[in-house]
Amino acid sequence: MSDRHFAFWPKGLPRHMSVPETDLFYNVEVSAKRFPDKSYLIFYDTKITFAEFKGEAERIAGWLQQQCGVKQGDRVLLYMQNSPQFVLAYYGILRANAVVVPVNPMNMTSELRHYVKDSGATVAIAAQDIYPQMKPLLGSGEGQGLEKILVAAYVDYLKTETDLKVPDFVKAPRQAINDAGVTLWSDALAQELQPGPVTVGPDDLCVMPYTSGTTGHPKGCMHTHRTAMHTQMGGYQWFSIQQDAVYLAVLPFFHVTGMQGSMSGPLQAGSTVVLLPRWDRDAAAQCIARYGVTSWTAIPTMVIDFLMNPKLGEYDLSSISRMSGGGAAMPEAIAQKLLDMGITYVEGYGLSETIAPSHINPPDRPKKQCLGIPIFDVESMVVDPNTFAELPPGEVGEIVTRGPQVFLGYWNNPQATRDAFVDIDGKQWFRTGDLGRIDEDGYFFMVDRLKRMINASGFKVWPAEVEALMYEHPAIQEACVIGTKDAHRGETVKAVVVIKEAQRGKVSEQDIIDWARQNMAAYKSPRIVEFVETLPKSATGKVMWRALQEKEAAGA
């Protein structure tokens, strides 16, 4: 493996990073001890100090242990938007020696059912606006295993008058939910229960983000305190960020980029996080100006919308010293527009399996539309996907990587775990499934995907998962999901569908679109449906999705 990328290693940074041999909650204890009265979270002008955060997270942990019987290694679902409660719940679960299973708040009941069943979770923490999606999985309704749900109202953390525009779902009054097995967040805190001792160490499981792939159902990526510690610490050290940095958190915390870069990294550093639960370009600009935001991680679609704001010139954005992101390449014109404002946008690359970045561009020498170079203690190379021989610069192959942040494997799925790794020269490498190349300077570039995936506004959509959900529609005989170009989202989701003969003429394309929207997360539900007589199939009867994808690309 070449070391040519070391020529452009960030100035003043050692190549090796010593990662603490502690559990993640220890970061809460340290920051609360060092900066007790400093704001960790700011939510529509309501401030929560590090000391307050520690106290409330411990009370959530006490409630989980004493009222729910949560013990070491148990999985607990976390289902809500960015909010103080998300962060408190995340660290409360960790303090209870348990494992966080973060779930996209856009997911619907049929999707949640898989997370509950697969993870074996019996306890969940949810926001009241989306609790109805989880309610059918509680108790005897579906018999899927949820016994207790802690329901939070975002309004509980609107304790300060604000002139920021607060979304209706955030300011909605707290509901009195009397369902068996449900406890309100405010009531759990009021019990003031304290947890038992911390019993986990660096090699115990701490978080299990789910990802999909070529198979129909999402798989849990098993991460330990050690693997998670690596990327959350590596992120802020790579950019030489200090404790007095102020972050704007707009990327969702259920996803590893937001979780590590905008939530856990700042907590470990002792920095301040200004939270927005939903993207709002005016609120983002107001927060940057009001709190002197210095660091902001955002996807290209957010940045494009932000820069299109006709009122942008009214805000002082001079405090921003770092903008970064990933998930999709930043268009050249937008990167240049930021540069004209004195802001360099630094791109990175990572997966749920690497719990955020394995590669980032050097801040003082970034390249555009580039994944960057391997970060601290990470090895990466481009190989022939069939022979696994390393390829020279310029040649396209599969990106493989190994490092301290690579996951242990997929939960309860040993075959998928075996398939995800390959042995090359006696070392185990993780197969990213992404096709890329390395340039002469050792920078990595994405070329295509080896695995079947659609990138819609930075959200990864796995066609096999969408197809599995679509087969639940009584009129659908066959479905093949592909990506199609979209001016705003980059790519969007299209379903090519064969309707059962008895249903033809009774069901429209729009009916299928509407049904999908009601039964799966909005980002993955097909925006376009095309009815066809038959789907192309191979000699063995497999649907030839690639043929449909290529036809779509040619037509676009």
For residue range 34-86, what is the model confidence (pLDDT) as tens digits?
999 999 999 999 999 999 999 999 999 999 999 999 999 999 999 999 999 99
The owner of tokens 């259920």 is 254
At residue 546, the 3 state secondary structure works out as helix
Within-domain flag for 446 = no
Q: Which of 200, 235, 259 is the last residue of a domain?
A: 200
Q: Does residue 504 carry a pLDDT above 50? A: yes
Domain encompassing residue 459: 454-555
Tell me 260's DSSP state.
I
pLDDT at 141: 46
Question: pLDDT for 512-525, tens place per residue?
Answer: 999 999 999 999 99
Q: What percent of the chain has pLDDT over 90?
A: 79
In a domain, 65, yes or no: yes
For residue 531, pLDDT over 50 is answered with: yes
The burial of 125, by beta-carbon neighbours within 10 Å (0-12 exposed, 13-18 middle, 19 or more buried), is given as buried
C-alpha span between 100 and 503 (Å, rounded) = 43
Tell whether 90 is covered by a domain: yes
Is 402:428 a contact under the CB 8 Å cutoff? yes
| 107 in any annotated domain | yes
Of the candidate ranges 32-36, 239-243, 542-546, the one whose mean pLDDT is the lowest: 542-546
Strands 75-79 and 99-102: parallel
The total domain count for the chain is 2
- Per DSSP bridges, beta strands 219-220 and 210-211 are antiparallel
From 169, 200, 231, the end of a domain falls on 200
Checking if the pLDDT of 546 tops 90, the result is no
User: Between 25-34 and 50-68, two packed helices, what is the crossing angle to 10 degrees?
Assistant: 140
CA 366 – CA 343 distance, rounded (Å): 12
Q: Which amino acid is at 397?
A: G
pLDDT over 70 at 540, yes or no: no
The enclosing domain of 56 has a CATH number of 3.40.50.980
DSSP state of 243: T
Mean predicted confidence (pLDDT) in 231-255: 96
- Give the burial string for 260-293 (b: 16+ CB within 10 Å, else e): bbbbbbbbbbbbbbbbbbebbbebbbbbbeebbb
Q: Evaluate whether 294 touches 248 at the Cβ level (below 8 Å).
A: no
Q: Which neighbouring-strand residues pair with 466?
A: none
Classify the phi-psi angles of 247: left when phi > 0, otherwise alpha if psi is within -120 to 50, otherwise beta. Answer: beta
Asked if the structure places residue 141 within a domain, the reply is yes
Return the CA Rg of the chain: 23
Number of other CB atoms surrounding residue 437 within 10 Å? 18
Average pLDDT over residues 460-489: 88
Inside any domain, residue 119: yes
CA distance 395 to 346: 24
Instruction: List, for residues 97-106, the tens digit of each pLDDT value.
Output: 999 999 999 9
Mean pLDDT (the chain) is 93
pLDDT at 452: 78
Is the pLDDT score of 166 beyond 70? yes
User: Rounded to the nearest 5 degrees, what angle is found at the Cα of 209, between the Cα atoms of 61 and 35?
Assistant: 45
Q: What is the CATH number of the domain that holds 471?
A: 3.30.300.30
Angle at alpha carbon of residue 253, lines to 249 and 255, rounded to 5°: 120
* 546 belongs to a structural domain: yes
* Residue 143: band (very low, low, confident or very high) from pLDDT cuts 50, 70, 90: very low
The SS3 assignment for 59 reads helix
- The secondary structure of residue 255, as a DSSP letter, is S
Tokens of 403: 């490092």
Out of 200, 217, 241, pick the residue that ends a domain. Answer: 200
What average pLDDT does this structure show over 179-186?
97
Helices (H), 374-505: 414-420, 463-470
Question: Average pLDDT in the 135-161 region?
Answer: 87
Judge residue 344's burial from the number of C-beta atoms within 10 Å of its C-beta, 0-12 exposed, 13-18 middle, 19 or more buried. middle
Instruction: Determine what percent of the chain is predicted with pLDDT higher than 70.
Output: 97
In a domain, residue 465? The reply is yes
The burial class, CB within 10 Å (0-12 / 13-18 / 19+), for 342 is exposed
Nearest-angstrom CA–CA distance, 496 and 481: 6
User: Which residue would you say has higher pLDDT here, 301 or 27?
Assistant: 27
pLDDT (0 to 100) of residue 144 = 54
> Tens digits of per-residue pLDDT, 109-130?
989 999 999 999 999 999 999 9
